[in-house]
Chain A
């Protein structure tokens, strides 16, 4: 019996009473049922629950005693100067860590894509930092930026007269966190490197034969082909940067501070939201802050998406370009 006659047999409904299509539908939903259950139980329900909580003065302990207070949590979030200060720090972190991280990893990937010696070793060295657990990374950077015994102040003591120290974590915390993030740009680099290696060499050679210099080749051949990857990584970096709070929490903990409530200099928006929940038991207000953050992330990604048609080139357009 070959496959077709088997299918015919199943389709004729003598076999199971179900057509193959229906049977396949049932089996399909059977296979993906864990995801459907999880999607409803662990995503949809908690999210609606969080929306509900953001409208109450829930204190984290007793849901019955919480009363609905409407949108006043949201109103407070928009009026409170603390939340604006926290959002400003989050924006600073995003504006520093995203462009520098992307540019550095792209540059490293371009260099590693050239035929240089010891490529594998360089690649491994730049990738190694991403293997260090976040706690260990923050601990190391916490001691590098430490006021009393940190490496940066040790360097300073060589240049300035002794006694002049800078309290890096206290005064420039968000920049320290950005440096820490850029140190871990190895994954981005590997993604860019894979993208670069996927570009056929003939294209670049053709450009060179046509008399293009290095810059023109990059700008007109390499960059357009790389832009979908850059775009995706850009979006993911934005989402990551706007919800960054673990790193600053551990960094402040490594410097002797607290996790949920880091130093003022790195009191980013998610930290603010979480400390309202964990330290001050204001779950309603915290949930409202998290929803505001969600809306901000959504808006920023939408704006980037709208601009993408000006700088992201998809293969479809390329094909049309050659056909015309």
Chain B
């Protein structure tokens, strides 16, 4: 009886919390289906007539938002960051894991220290410097240069992650190759990278997620046509055919874009759940 009561309380609490956590998703869909008028003038829970057409309007027409061009820009930025950061972090992590050299521990402790450095302190000075160097007014494809430049040195957290990963691999891996006269870069690229599939997958997933959701960097560095979906969604969503004057007539459309923008990440999560959980729990990586 006591166990039953305990379980009852426990599960009710969990279900209650689940409802609280799920609710914003539910509200997101409900709001996307409402008519702009409903949001402006009345308070109602359910939409009068669900406007599924919002999804079609967002995807098929350019009247709401240039959806696919913006999405393409997001993917460009994501690809640049994911590929470059993953590669260079692995290379740097490999260096720290497999060589004993003077200054190694000191440099590694600097990397750990930069991990603790508030991002704002790096990001804003970088922006001021890039602006002075003229990075802000470049034509496509050079407008993505800030991402290339900031990705090449790798990210501290992933350098740390790869170092831990490579340090755990046996020394025999490189010895055989060394005897055969293989260069160190070949050893890294042809022997160590192929066996580090899980680490690469985890890194790529987190890099993709962070770059995909990033708002401020594209807001600072990109202009209208090259802009990513995250920024376009906030700044450039219009409500087609809405004539009344209201503060926020475009909210249902914005929400529709928001749902379409969120879906790829949720799908990615369900396909690669294992890597998400492993990545977080082994490194303490936090989104």
| Residues on A facing B (Cβ under 8 Å) | 1, 3, 6, 21, 24-25, 27-32, 34-39, 42-43, 45-47, 49-50, 53, 60, 63, 108, 111, 114, 116-117, 122, 124-137, 139-141, 143-144, 146, 148-151, 153-154, 157, 183-184, 187-188, 190-191, 193-194, 229, 232-233, 235-236, 239-240, 242-243, 245-246, 250, 253-256, 259, 270, 273-274, 277, 283, 286-287, 290, 293-294, 297, 301
Cβ–Cβ contact A50 & B284, under 8 A: no
Q: How far is the CB of B226 from chain A (nearest CB, A)?
A: 18
**Given A133-B265, A134-B213: A290 touches B21 (CB 8 Å cut-off):** no
Cα A243 to Cα B118 with chains together (Å):
7
Cβ–Cβ contact A143 & B27, under 8 A: yes
A residues near B116, Cβ cutoff 8 Å: 235, 239, 301
A residues near B119, Cβ cutoff 8 Å: 243
Cα A60 to Cα B132 with chains together (Å):
8
**Given A42-B150, A236-B286, A297-B118: A135 touches B261 (CB 8 Å cut-off):** yes
A residues near B269, Cβ cutoff 8 Å: 127-128, 131
**Nearest A residue to B187, CB-CB:** A27
Cβ–Cβ contact A31 & B104, under 8 A: no
Cβ–Cβ contact A46 & B230, under 8 A: no
Cβ–Cβ contact B154 & A38, under 8 A: yes
In the complex, how many residue pairs between chain A and chain B have their CB atoms under 8 Å apart? 253
Cβ–Cβ contact A43 & B114, under 8 A: yes
Is B167 an interface residue when CB atoms closer than 8 A count as contact?
no
Cβ–Cβ contact B120 & A42, under 8 A: no
Cα A255 to Cα B251 with chains together (Å):
9
Cα A211 to Cα B99 with chains together (Å):
51
- Counting from the closest, the 5 A-B pairs by CB-CB distance are A38-B153, A31-B95, A194-B281, A46-B125, A133-B213
Is B131 an interface residue when CB atoms closer than 8 A count as contact?
yes
**Given A131-B262, A149-B40, A259-B219: A270 touches B129 (CB 8 Å cut-off):** no
Is B60 an interface residue when CB atoms closer than 8 A count as contact?
no
Of A3, A35, A149, A183, which one neighbours B39 at CB under 8 angstroms? A149
B7-25 vs A, Cβ < 8 Å mask (1 yes, 0 no): 0001101100110011011
Cβ–Cβ contact A131 & B209, under 8 A: yes
Cα A47 to Cα B126 with chains together (Å):
8
Q: How far is the CB of A61 from chain B (nearest CB, A)?
A: 9
Cβ–Cβ contact B212 & A31, under 8 A: no
One of B65-73, B86-94, B196-204 contacting the partner:
B86-94
Cβ–Cβ contact B43 & A148, under 8 A: yes
B residues near A246, Cβ cutoff 8 Å: 215-216
